[in-house]
Amino acid sequence: MLTAAQLDILQTFERDLDPQHPEASRIPARILGYGEISAVIEILTPEMEGLAFKRLPLFRDPNEIDRYRAVFQAYQRLLQERIHIRLPAQAHAVASNARGAPVFYIIQQKLRADSIGSRALHILSDGEILALAQRVLQELHKAYAFNREQSEIEIALDGQISNWAIEDFDGKQLTEKVSLRYVDTSTPLFRVNGVEQLNAELFLRSAPSFLAWALRKLYLADVVNRYYDFHRVAVDLVANFYKEQRADLVPALIQTVNAFFADDARALNIVPLTEQEVRAYYRADAQIWSLYFNARKFDRWLRTRILRKAYPYILPAKIQR
């Protein structure tokens, strides 16, 4: 947990934040990364040194915060105690923005930038990248094997390479025994007796109102369901290498995944991946998220320039896909 002094700094930072120009805040900050609905920020004060703040301005009132917090904490316990997936040291806090709306912050130990999988794959040799993918598959297998072994709880993971950090990475090469930490706990997807515990409508909060209805009708259920399917999670993992500008590795990655499915995960009876499937998935996914991002930029312009209202989300200037 944060100290009282740190909470005061976070509250002041959020109250004075201009989401369109976060680096120009009265309390200086640096953007470490962007998700589809959130941004990861470093607050540049001595008191906040070594911490990364994932900002989620998705909530309308304290009751929604309380429900999300309960699911978020339960998800962490499941990952660590039942699945034995390692997480970075983390906490959470709530601050109020300039309009008085609650903003939920996930606070994690700041990790070496090059230890994040999406950065490391531009440093490692091709063989080491395939070994890293193998380790990610082993971690994912823990969750989907757990789901198969009992019927009460189902746990979902987003297996993209950017969601994993390499422990004790020296910025040069992998150690013989690679240990990973799962860094994306902000989307705590799990089901109890078939009932989704997270309010999936939260995913639509950052979408423009003119697009939310279509996303809800056409994509929301499918996007959530994909994370419970090891095959589709693996497709997403491999397809992400197109976005990361390593399309040359896709054939070898598919071989790695299929060998893992046939050997380590053979009890799950998972259908092998094909290159055609991965390529088609990437193209469709890139089109959807590009449309979504451009619509959000238009929505920001409409709210701030025409309607003279606040826009609470931090958007990147551009997303490479």
The highest-level CATH class for domain 4-109 is alpha beta
- The one-letter code for the residue type at 81 is E
End-to-end CA distance of the chain: give it in Å, rounded.
36
Q: Name the nearest CA neighbour of 139 among 264, 252, 232.
A: 264
Q: Give the C-alpha separation, 279 to 292, whole Å.
A: 20
Report pLDDT digits (tens) over 31-87: 998 877 789 999 999 999 999 999 999 999 999 999 999 999 999 999 999 999 999
Q: Give the C-alpha separation, 1 to 11, whole Å.
A: 14
pLDDT value of position 152: 97
pLDDT value of position 264: 97
pLDDT value of position 321: 62
Q: Give the C-alpha separation, 130 to 178, whole Å.
A: 12
pTM (global) more than 0.95: no
* Residue found under tokens 């004790």: 168
Q: Give the C-alpha separation, 280 to 293, whole Å.
A: 20
Q: Name the nearest CA neighbour of 115 among 82, 164, 75.
A: 164
Angle at 107 between CA 106 and CA 111, to 5 degrees: 125
pLDDT value of position 22: 87
Please state the domain extents for the chain.
4-109, 113-306
Residues 6+ apart with CB under 8 A from 321: 242, 243, 286, 289, 290
Neighbours of 293 (CB within 10 A): 17
pLDDT value of position 162: 94
- The one-letter code for the residue type at 221 is A
The ranges of the chain with pLDDT < 70 are: 319-321
Task: Assess contact for 165 and 119: CB atoms under 8 A.
Answer: no
Q: Give the C-alpha separation, 50 to 69, whole Å.
A: 23
Q: Give the C-alpha separation, 187 to 268, whole Å.
A: 24
Residues 6+ apart with CB under 8 A from 108: 51, 52, 54, 88, 89, 90, 183
pLDDT value of position 36: 73
pLDDT value of position 119: 94
